[in-house]
Amino acid sequence: MNETETHTSNLIRHLYVHFPFCARICPYCAFYKTRGNAAEVARFCEALVFEARRVAEKFPLTLETIFFGGGTPTVLSTAQLKNLLELFHEIFDLGALREWSIEANPGSVSAKKAATLRDSGINRISLGVQSWDNQLLNLLGREHHTAQAEESFHIFRSAGFSNISVDFMFALPGQTETQWRGSLQKTIALQPEHISTYCLTYEEDTEFLARFARGEFAVNDETDMRVRDFAPSTIGLTGAARTISGSVQVRFRRADSSAGRTSPIIMNTPSACSPTNHRSRRSKN
Ligand SMILES: C[S@@+](CC[C@H](N)C(=O)[O-])C[C@H]1O[C@@H](n2cnc3c(N)ncnc32)[C@H](O)[C@@H]1O
Ligand code: SF4
């Protein structure tokens, strides 16, 4: 390790791991992901452990947060997740760790998996609910329906998670203002610690952008802006909700998951960056 690396590594407190697999590919999504087969997932897990060891050897990290994002990390089997998490405990010094998050998709949640995640040190869940309307979920090509999403939320609570964030999307084709307000109210009733709301973005190279270009979806920025403001105002309307739900985050256009971080994030997995030493090192996708 050279002097520059030692100096830089002192600042590294966050680890991001990108899991590039999903059970189904949503037609609006531009994140790096693939359906993957069992052999590819197994090979990825091996490579990830190799990369984790390399990073741990190269940089004396003081990890405060770890984020398992995707893609869909919960697409891995319970055994694979358990093994990976155990190895992370072995490889990294997690003495200073405050938060270990994982993105979960309601289609790949079970009580056994939730208990394993909790027992293995994960303490924050980011659950991709997206909508409380089955027709909209269908349009979004989601692999889950609303009942599964609600059940997943309760499974995580019962497994002992006291920090659950839920993701929703607004400005969806055909979504009415009333539907969105209802969605927010139902979400608040569940009492998550955090709600993230994302305005649908028509991303390059997605089926949704092609459909938009063909005129199949109408976009009205004025309505979208109004709908965006529902999130905070719905919290206001329900009064006590502000103390029940820790926070609501509204992203008018989808933002980088590393926004708001004050120190570099490290880990070279597909689609993840390690911007150490003011150089951005991006793994090849
Ligand atoms: C890494 S993604 C997905 C996590 C997980 N795979 C899922 O779908 O539930 C995180 C969030 O980005 C949002 N998102 C993805 N594509 C989007 C798009 N085109 N426009 C707006 N939000 C988007 C979704 O709300 C999603 O939950
Ligand atoms: S939105 Fe989530 S589940 Fe859907 S393709 Fe993107 S990463 Fe995968």
User: Alpha carbon of 152 to those of 9, 126, 134, 157, 190: distances in Å?
Assistant: 37, 11, 16, 9, 12
Beta-sheet pairing, 281-282 with 273-274: antiparallel
CB-CB contact of 163 with 125 (8 Å): yes
Domain coordinates of the chain in residue numbers?
A: 9-282
Higher model confidence: residue 220 or residue 273? 220
Q: What is the pLDDT of residues 18-62, one digit of tens each?
A: 999 999 999 999 999 999 899 999 999 999 999 999 999 988 789
Find tokens 């990825």 and name the residue.
Answer: 44
Reported confidence tier of residue 234, pLDDT bands at 50, 70, 90: low
Q: How far is the CA of 130 from the centre of ligand 2 (A)?
A: 11
99, two tokens? 């938060």
Higher model confidence: residue 49 or residue 246? 49
**How far is it, in rounded angstroms, from Cα 132 to Cα 148?**
10
Find tokens 């980011």 and name the residue.
Answer: 126
CB-CB contact of 97 with 65 (8 Å): yes
Residue 22 CA: nearest ligand 2 atom is: 8
**How far is it, in rounded angstroms, from Cα 251 to Cα 221?**
14
Q: What is the pLDDT of residues 103-134, one digit of tens each?
A: 999 999 999 999 999 999 999 999 999 999 99
Residues 6+ apart with CB under 8 A from 227: 170, 171, 177, 180
Q: Is 137 in the pocket of ligand 2 (CB under 6 A)?
A: no
Reported confidence tier of residue 235, pLDDT bands at 50, 70, 90: low
Q: How far is the CA of 140 from the centre of ligand 2 (A)?
A: 10
**How far is it, in rounded angstroms, from Cα 255 to Cα 259?**
7
61, two tokens? 């990290």
**pTM of the predicted structure, to 2 decimals:** 0.87
Architecture of domain 9-282: Alpha-Beta Barrel (3.20)
Q: Is 25 in the pocket of ligand 2 (CB under 6 A)?
A: yes
∠ CA 53-54-58, nearest 5°, is 115
Q: How far is the CA of 9 from the centre of ligand 1 (A)?
A: 30
Q: Is 8 in the pocket of ligand 2 (CB under 6 A)?
A: no
Q: Is 16 in the pocket of ligand 1 (CB under 6 A)?
A: no
Q: How far is the CA of 105 from the centre of ligand 2 (A)?
A: 8
Q: Is the pLDDT confidence value at 223 over 90? A: no
Q: What is the mean pLDDT of residues 66-95?
A: 96
